[in-house]
Amino acid sequence: MLEGVRILDLSRMLAGPYGSMLLGDLGAEIIKIEEPGEGDLTRTAHAQAALRGISAYFLSINRSKKSVTLNLKSEKGRAIFYEMVKKADVVYDNFRPAALEKLGCTYEVLSKHNPRIICCSVSAFGHDGPYRDLPAYDIILQAIGGTMGLTGPEIGEPVLMGVPMGDLAGGIFGALAISAALYQRERTGRGQKLDVSLLDSQISLLVYLGQTYIATGEIPLRRGAMHPLIAPFRSFKTKDGHIAVVAFQDKFFESFCKIIEREDLLSDERFDTMINRALNKAELYVILDEIFPKKTTAEWLEPLREAQIPSGPVNNIQDALNDPQVRHRNMVVEIDHPEIGKYEALGNPVKSSVMKDGEFLPPPTLGQHTEEVLTSLAGLSAEEIRSLRDEGVI
């Protein structure tokens, strides 16, 4: 879908590389620019979790890319980069603003070389405001953005979301912004600067919880696996695990009560309407917590699904990745890597009638495509490339 779009990817770690991988999965040519000799820190920083010697962290977010080593701190390196910018569509980074300025890679500089260039920066706090130059990681964004304060049991400490949404949301919004900017450029012919903040992304994810506070002035509390506004909407302990069930609508609740053999709850004035069930959910959950442990998760799932009541097992990652629906949708795919051979990886969630699903470039080795890209984009000869390598520019 994005074939013909060329993105120079200066990002590293998690937020940026996840976003550029999504764009690469959709067909864009992603050229990952890395420090000579070192590369993205995630190549080595998480070596304790490796697949045949290659960091699992790096493998998870860097497929569908090419790797070029280039020292942007050197004048020659920047000159080569500017030549590449002339033949690119997007420059994508996740530096702090001051670092981007120091490298000479701001939109103001790059647009002079290519007025059609789109520059997307994904940073912790954005390019303005009092936190502009502060460093941050996922936990800091979840903490400041309110999502950590909403996650965890009602009694106890706030906890991180199970997946690093402080970072991942920024990558997703970055990919969305780039796609929109490419569409606009088709109409205007000009590029633009995109400023995506990870904190802004967390605030956006507050959705109805944030709006509820604005509307009522009441601060939503941590509710564990419960929904703050409706019931039943929760996970329950079964004989052999846990199950998640949503049956707050009247039609579902009626079927639900028949399945759990408690039709008397339908006439109980505490639970006879959606509003009453929400107001008295604590009492309802006391009753349900005594019922669900009587059967296994599978024994509950069969009648619940037959009645079309939204329900599912609370899976660990092993169970999730082997779920028949997940496998059917190509969300676990096989990739052939030049160093470690074939391995399984997570698939692309976007399915398209015009795009072949499940085929990706493997995550590149460090500098794997340097000569190819510098020859085609910067017009360098083999002799010039050898000289740059000797000087440590590449």
Catalytic choice (9, 138, 167, 200): 167
Question: Is 25 an active-site residue?
Answer: no
Dig out the tokens for 110 from the structure. 């790059």
Kindly tell me the sign of the dihedral angle through the C-alpha atoms of 153, 150, 20, 26. positive
Q: Is there a contact between 21 and 176 (Cβ–Cβ < 8 Å)?
A: no
Q: How far is CA 380 from the centre of its chain?
A: 36
Q: Give the integer Cα–Cα distance in Å for 217 and 305.
A: 38
Half-sphere exposure of 269 (CA within 13 A, CB side): 0
Among residues 27, 87, 12, the alpha carbon closest in space to that of 380 is found at 87
Query: Of 170, 1, 183, 169, which is closest to residue 89 (Cα–Cα)?
Result: 183
Give residue for tokens 């994904």: 122
Ranges of beta strands (E only) in the chain are 6-9, 29-34, 50-51, 54-55, 65-69, 90-93, 118-123, 193-197, 233-237, 242-246, 311-313, 332-337, 341-346
Amino acid at the residue 374 = L
Tokens of 292: 């669900």
- Give strand pairing partners of 68: 33
Number of residues written out for the chain: 394
CA distance 342 to 334: 6
**111 touches 120 (CB < 8 A):** no
**For residues 232 and 84, what is the distance between their CA atoms, to the nearest angstrom?**
56
Angle formed at CA 208 by CA 279 and CA 350, multiple of 5 degrees: 125
Nearest to 351 by CA among 21, 65, 26: 26
**Residue 44, C-beta contacts closer than 8 angstroms, at least 6 positions apart:** 55
* HSE, side-chain direction, 13 A CA sphere, residue 239: 8
Task: Report, as residue numbers or ranges, the catalytic residues.
Answer: 167
